[in-house]
Every structure is written in structure tokens, then in C-alpha cells.
């Protein structure tokens, strides 16, 4: 009995330290709320995904029909699907804002938090790609074909990796089922990484927008900051609901309303909007291996900020430091716009220019 009470007391102490009594700088603003909002949306994605998975059929012949069945016949199935689809877009939007906030206030100085966050970003990208294939529409099928074929650029083993991933000589039943299983299981690995991410953050605590020693002038997290988190979470949830019910297909591709047809290639194949910046960099390089390398580096390059000087730490910003933040954010948006346009003049030439500026901005600043 004493042992059980001791363990219970220890659990309460840990919970109080991490969630309730966590010492938090008093000067942090709403820019520090993005992480908690991501946690709320992640939970919603898990819940809606589990329900949708119970009605999904991962056979090539019936995958597209099962999506129609969910939307038309399952009780509130259309709502679950719209929230899951648009929740992914909101999720990525907030992730990008969360990362930019890290740039602005030098969160990359916390080594373990920054590296674990980068790994989380890569896994989220993989989950989103796997999920985009599951509806088995035209863009889903051909997008999977294009992206998986990129792995063949890996010297010596690329072709073998593609064949193993496909489970045959082309994308088919085995591919769809593997993607479905991975899309279902990887989020649980992601949940574990998020816990590690939070643990590394709470080991040192949040930084401060003023750049002053964050150990000075702290207050308990609850109720001063938990109320702010709840407020912003409610606002984001309301935005997700409005987007899901008023403009459910605003961010989708109309071509994906057609079932997958291996004999009919769409004129313009493009990924979801949150992949467009990397897609623009990929297609701006003629060499296949070079394009794949640039695609991966476009995401991993944010880790080099760990080796650089503190970009922004207080209100005494240097003009060059301000310019870095705004130039990087602007180039990201411009590359997203380029990726949404066809590979033709003048978008092709502009994309090459923006690609050079994108990498040079991070490397030289």
C-alpha cells in the first residue's frame, strides 16, 4: 500500500511539474501557443483517423468506393473525412508557423528540442504522403507513382527499394495496403517522439522574446498560460470546422474525384499545397539524383541553424537578422506558388532563381 501511494505521489509530482506547475517566463506571448495547438489537432487527427480506418477498404478495386461509402452512408462520415483532410492542412500551416517562430526567437539553440522537432517534421511529411495515396484517385495514384520513383535515383539500391516498396513491378494492391498500414501505425511512433520533444523542452524551459535569461521572472504554467492555450485552441478548431464545412475541397485537387486510372496520366500532377515548396525545388533541377538530394536538403537544411550564431534574441534586432527571417518566409511562399504552376515559362526560370535564393539565404546568413 505504501509503495502504491508513493508511486501515485511521484506521478502527481511529475504531472504537476510538466503540465501544471511548470515554471514559465512571464513575458512569452501567443507566439508560444502553436505547440499546444498542434497537440490538440494531432489528437483530433488520431481520433478521426481511427474511425475512418474502420470503414476504409484497402483493396485497389474498392478503395475509391469506400471513400464514397464513408461520405454518403456512414453516420457523419462526411464530417469526419472533411475534418481529417482539412485538419492535415491546418496542421501543416501551424507547423510552418511554429518553425518560423523558432527562427525568430532562436529556439534552435535548444539542441535536442530542435533536432527532435526536425525528425517529427520528417515523419509528419511521410504520414501525410501515405494518407494522400489512400483515396486512390487520379492524383493519389500518379502522385504516389512519381514520388516513389524518386527513390530509384539512389545509387545501386534505388531500384530494389522501389520494387520492395511497391511489392511488385508497379503500384498496386500491395502498395496500397502497405501505405494504409504505415499511415495507421506511424502516428503512434510520432506520439512517442512528441513526448520526447516536450520532455527536452521542459528540461530547459521555454525561451523569452526579450532574449533575457529565461530563468528570471517565471510563473506556474497553470492557470496563467493554460487559459491562453485553451483560447487559441478553440479559435483554431472553429477555423477548421468553418473550412471543413463551408469550403471542404478548397485545398484539394478536382482531378482526385476521378478513380485511379494507370492508363490516363493527368496533364498537371502536383502534391498537396504543403509539399509544393519542396516540389518546386525538385523539378527545378534536371538531374534526378540532384533533384532528390535538393528535395531532402530543403527540409533538413533548417538543422544547420544549430551551428550558426543567434539570429534573433531580443528587440535589438540587426537589419540583416530581420531580413533573413522575412526573406526565408517570402521565398517559402513564392516556391509554394511556383510549385502550383505548370512547368513552363516563366515559372520554370523563376523557380530556379528562387531555389538558389532559398538555399543561399540559409547557408550564408
Same domain? For 197 and 74 the reply is yes
CATH number at residue 286: 1.10.287
**pLDDT of 50 higher than 90:** yes
Q: How far apart are CA 28 and CA 129, in angstroms?
A: 34
Active-site option among 66, 206, 244, 298: 206
Same domain? For 357 and 258 the reply is no
Q: How far apart are CA 344 and CA 280, in angstroms?
A: 12
* 176 touches 60 (CB < 8 A): yes
- Would you say residue 24 lies in a domain? no
Active-site option among 69, 228, 288, 352: 228
| Structure confidence by residue, pLDDT tens digits, 203-216 | 766 666 655 555 56
Structural domain for 308, as ranges:
270-365
pLDDT at position 179 is 94
Domain count within the chain:
2
Assess whether 9 carries a catalytic annotation.
Answer: no
Residue where a domain stops, chosen among 265, 284, 299: 265
Angle, CA 85 vertex, CA 79 and CA 89 arms, to 5°: 130
pTM: 0.86
Assess whether 16 carries a catalytic annotation.
Answer: no
Active-site option among 208, 253, 272, 298: 272
pLDDT at position 67 is 93
Same domain? For 242 and 358 the reply is no
Same domain? For 155 and 191 the reply is yes
**pLDDT of 347 higher than 80:** yes
Active-site option among 202, 218, 222, 352: 202
| Structure confidence by residue, pLDDT tens digits, 122-154 | 999 999 999 999 999 999 999 899 889 888 888
- Would you say residue 18 lies in a domain? no
- Would you say residue 39 lies in a domain? yes
Same domain? For 228 and 361 the reply is no
- Would you say residue 260 lies in a domain? yes
Same domain? For 172 and 278 the reply is no
Assess whether 66 carries a catalytic annotation.
Answer: no
Same domain? For 280 and 325 the reply is yes
Same domain? For 185 and 41 the reply is yes
pLDDT at position 286 is 86
pLDDT at position 328 is 83
CATH number at residue 199: 1.20.810.10
| Structure confidence by residue, pLDDT tens digits, 210-244 | 555 555 666 666 666 777 888 888 898 899 999 99
Mean pLDDT across 80-107: 88
Q: How far apart are CA 77 and CA 83, in angstroms?
A: 10
Same domain? For 174 and 282 the reply is no
- Would you say residue 99 lies in a domain? yes
User: Which of the residue ranges 100-109, 126-135, 152-161 would you say has the lowest mean pLDDT?
Assistant: 100-109
Share of the chain above pLDDT 90, in %: 33
pLDDT at position 314 is 44
- Would you say residue 108 lies in a domain? yes
Q: What is the CA radius of gyration of the chain?
A: 22
User: Which of the residue ranges 8-12, 191-195, 328-332, 356-360 would you say has the lowest mean pLDDT?
Assistant: 8-12
Residue where a domain stops, chosen among 213, 246, 265: 265
Of 7, 10, 45, 20, which is closest to residue 190 (Cα–Cα)? Answer: 45
Amino acid at each position: 500500500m505504501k509503495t502504491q501511494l508513493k508511486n501515485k505521489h511521484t506521478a502527481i509530482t511529475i504531472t504537476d511539474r510538466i503540465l501544471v506547475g511548470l515554471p514559465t517566463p512571464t513575458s512569452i506571448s501567443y507566439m508560444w501557443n502553436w505547440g499546444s495547438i498542434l497537440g490538440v489537432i494531432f489528437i483530433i487527427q488520431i481520433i478521426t483517423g481511427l474511425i475512418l480506418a474502420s470503414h476504409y477498404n484497402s483493396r485497389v478495386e474498392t478503395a475509391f468506393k469506400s471513400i464514397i461509402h464513408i461520405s454518403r452512408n456512414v453516420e457523419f462520415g462526411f464530417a469526419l473525412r472533411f475534418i481529417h483532410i482539412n485538419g492535415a492542412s491546418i496542421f501543416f500551416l501551424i507547423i510552418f508557423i511554429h518553425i518560423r517562430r523558432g527562427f525568430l526567437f532562436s529556439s534552435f539553440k535548444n539542441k535536442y528540442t530542435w533536432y527532435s522537432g526536425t525528425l517529427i517534421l520528417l515523419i509528419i511529411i511521410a504520414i501525410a504522403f501515405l494518407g494522400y495515396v489512400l483515396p486512390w484517385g487520379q492524383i493519389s495514384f500518379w502522385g504516389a507513382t512519381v514520388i516513389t520513383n524518386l527513390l530509384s535515383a539512389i545509387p545501386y539500391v534505388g531500384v530494389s527499394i522501389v520494387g520492395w516498396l511497391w511489392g511488385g513491378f508497379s503500384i498496386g494492391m500491395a502498395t496500397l495496403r502497405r501505405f494504409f498500414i504505415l499511415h495507421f501505425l506511424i502516428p503512434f511512433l510520432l506520439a512517442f517522439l512528441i513526448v520526447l520533444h516536450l520532455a527536452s523542452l521542459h528540461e530547459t524551459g521555454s525561451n523569452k522574446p526579450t532574449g533575457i535569461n529565461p530563468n528570471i521572472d517565471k510563473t506556474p504554467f497553470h492557470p496563467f498560460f493554460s487559459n491562453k492555450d485553451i483560447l487559441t485552441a478553440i479559435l483554431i478548431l472553429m477555423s477548421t470546422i468553418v473550412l471543413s464545412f463551408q469550403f471542404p475541397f478548397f485545398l484539394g485537387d478536382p482531378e482526385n474525384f476521378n478513380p485511379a486510372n494507370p492508363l490516363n496520366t493527368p496533364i498537371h500532377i502536383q502534391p498537396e499545397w504543403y509539399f509544393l515548396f519542396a516540389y518546386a525545388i525538385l523539378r527545378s533541377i534536371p538531374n534526378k539524383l540532384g533533384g532528390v538530394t535538393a528535395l531532402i536538403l530543403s527540409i533538413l537544411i533548417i538543422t544547420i541553424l544549430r551551428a550558426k550564431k543567434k539570429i534573433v534574441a531580443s528587440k535589438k534586432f540587426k537589419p540583416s537578422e530581420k531580413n533573413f527571417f522575412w526573406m526565408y518566409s517570402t521565398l517559402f511562399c513564392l516556391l509554394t506558388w511556383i510549385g502550383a504552376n505548370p512547368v513552363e515559362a516563366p515559372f520554370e526560370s523563376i523557380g530556379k532563381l528562387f531555389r538558389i535564393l532559398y538555399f543561399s539565404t540559409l547557408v550564408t546568413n
